[in-house]
Amino acid sequence: MAVFEMRNARKAFGLLEVLKGVSLKVEKGEVVSIIGPSGGGKSTMLRCATLLETMDSGTLAYGENVAAREENGKSVYAGKAALAQVRRQFGLVFQQFDLFPHYTVLKNVCDAPISVQKRDRAEVEAEAMALLDKMGLKGKENAYPYQLSGGQQRVAIARALAMKPEILFFDEPTSALDPLLTGEVLRVIRSLADEHMTMVIVTHEMPFARAVSDRVVFLDGGVIVEQGSPEQV
Ligand code: ADP
Ligand code: MG
């Protein structure tokens, strides 16, 4: 069963049709890159996938959990409890990392697993330390985000991974970074790909998309114009 499936998603903002029937299915362990011109609907698609926006029509499911089904040409969303379950299945990393500035790095990573997932603090902290190490941020756990010269995006990735998502979405994770920091973040994402983390990555980094992806999807004008192996697309 697919980890993630969106079918025939449509979304308009007023008269502007941004998604015109987008379908995407992601299997366990797959890495899918989404590329395409600015304004093509990539962020809107990710925002619909991660329940930050509602689709006008189309269906959305994570494994067996249905977030939205379609009835009379309209998306009908599941109830609060079912959507809460769905939210546990994905993680999201934005261009702007949105760390809490008044929390230490460790607290940024551990806060949701402890206070939302109600997991054991000691266990979560131990896992967080291992994640920070993996992100190349060993020894930074007690720093505040502003004290990291760069590296915030890697904290954001650690924070998303701490929730143990089944699939991780990235929306242009490097577009706010300089080349050096971009390289570090891309290396981290590549190491996750090597471990077969299921990921959907919106990116402008074409050589990276080619190297890391099983599939590349080209989204333009609210439709998937082409998709296939990196060589094909
Ligand atoms: P991309 O991420 O591919 O650059 P977006 O999904 O951000 O594209 O935007 C697609 C189109 O939808 C753009 O024309 C954008 O201005 C418009 N748009 C996105 N979000 C909103 C919104 N909340 N309200 C109105 N228009 C929006
Ligand atoms: Mg965008």
**pTM for the complete prediction?**
0.95
CA distances from 174 to 162, 189, 196, 199, 215 (A): 20, 11, 21, 15, 20
pLDDT at position 130: 97
pLDDT for the residue 84: 94
pLDDT at position 138 over 90: yes
What is the pLDDT confidence band of residue 149, given thresholds at 50, 70 and 90? confident
Structure confidence at residue 232 (pLDDT): 87
Percent of the chain with pLDDT over 90: 90
Band of pLDDT at residue 167, cut at 50, 70 and 90: very high
Q: Is a pLDDT exceeding 90 seen at residue 7?
A: yes
Q: Which ligand is nearest to the CA of 172?
A: 2
pLDDT tens-digit map of 9-66:
999 999 999 999 999 999 999 999 999 999 999 999 999 999 999 999 999 999 999 9
Under 8 Å between Cβ of 222 and 42: no
Q: Which residues line ligand 1 (CB under 6 A)?
A: 13, 16, 18, 38-44
Q: What residue's CA is closest to ligand 1, atom 13?
A: 39
Contacting residues for 123 by C-beta, under 8 A, at least 6 apart: none
Average pLDDT over residues 148-169: 94
pLDDT of residue 98: 86
Pick from 13, 42, 47 the residue to mutate for probing ligand 1's pocket: most ligand atoms within 8 Å of its CB.
13
Across-strand partners of 108? none
> In the predicted model, what is the mean pLDDT of the chain?
95
Atom of ligand 1 nearest to the CA of 44: 6
Nearest to 87, CA basis, from 62, 114, 57, 53: 62
For ligand 1, atom 12: residue with the closest CA: 18
How remote is the CA of residue 57 from the centroid of ligand 1, in Å? 17
